[in-house]
Structure 1
């Protein structure tokens, strides 16, 4: 019997700091509804995994235009008061791949909404980009 290649990876402090900085920038763009800047932080085609109102799992791939158009529709105008409070648990698969689980409270115009989601991020040339978004409830839009 041969053992598989050792794929265990212990993230460094720099790995975590760079991922935290990436999410801080992304959250700032999201809070200000800067959709184009959010799109700049993705690796397209973007994979999406969700479920629909019938309880079925769904998946799709979006190009940049689909992401921008959908986020403009979902997020609306930048005039609303939007804030995020998130707790993130990253699992680094390597120095260039991470799955990040997020528990988030998004507050829009004083109304709080809790969300749970996961993202798969890849790092290329030292820069993180999200490549897969996983969150329930988006399936009817895919």
Structure 2
């Protein structure tokens, strides 16, 4: 029988630098989103990218995207000609110095129409740089199943 040993570590307490790095990462990502620079957005991810959502029938869904699938879908979703703006409040929860789950409450305004959303991202730090690896948001399952 294999023995599993849980590491003896309490909850990780992020440093000011940890918090600043996450804030700066999201500022870069938000700026690229506003510019609809999907290729550079993809540069900030680890692929395959995990996705977790649910559909219009309330069924949970999980899957993965390749870089090409991410870029194609994000271009479709973000590629309109209307002005896009958003305001976000983010709450990072660090599991370690290199793993964080970040909850976001945001209001997106597209062409004068606003919508409030809540989602979460799992970020991993590799070679000193943060990248997102999992996107979690309700309501996308119908689109993701195509």
Category of TM-score, reference length = shorter chain: over 0.9
Tell me, which stretches of 5 or more residues in structure 2 are unaligned?
Answer: none
TM-score, scaled to structure 2: 0.91
Aligned residues: 140
The equivalent residue for 1:53 is 56
Taking the aligned partners of 2:89 and 2:136, their CA distance within structure 1 comes to 16
User: Residue 80 of structure 1: CA displacement?
Assistant: 2.5
Q: Which runs of 5+ in 1 are unaligned?
A: none
1:22 — aligned with what? 25
Deviation of 1:49 after TM superposition, in Å, equals 0.2
Output the CA distance in 1 between the equivalents of 2:14 and 2:106.
23
Aligned residue number for residue 65 of structure 2:
62
Query: Can you list the C-alpha shifts for 1:109-130, whole angstroms capped at 9, x where unaligned?
Result: 2211111000000011111100
Partner of 1:22, secondary structure, is: helix
1:89 counterpart residue number? 91
**What does residue 109 of structure 1 align with?**
111
Contact 1:32 1:82 survives alignment (8 Å): no
Q: Which residue of 2 aligns with 1:6?
A: 9
Is residue 72 from structure 1 mapped to residue 75 from structure 2 by the alignment?
A: yes
- The Cα of 1:4 is off from its aligned counterpart by 5.5
Structure 1 segments of 4 or more deviating over 6 A? none
Give CA deviations for 1:74-117 in whole Å, capped at 9, x if unaligned: 1114x431111000000000110000000001111221111100
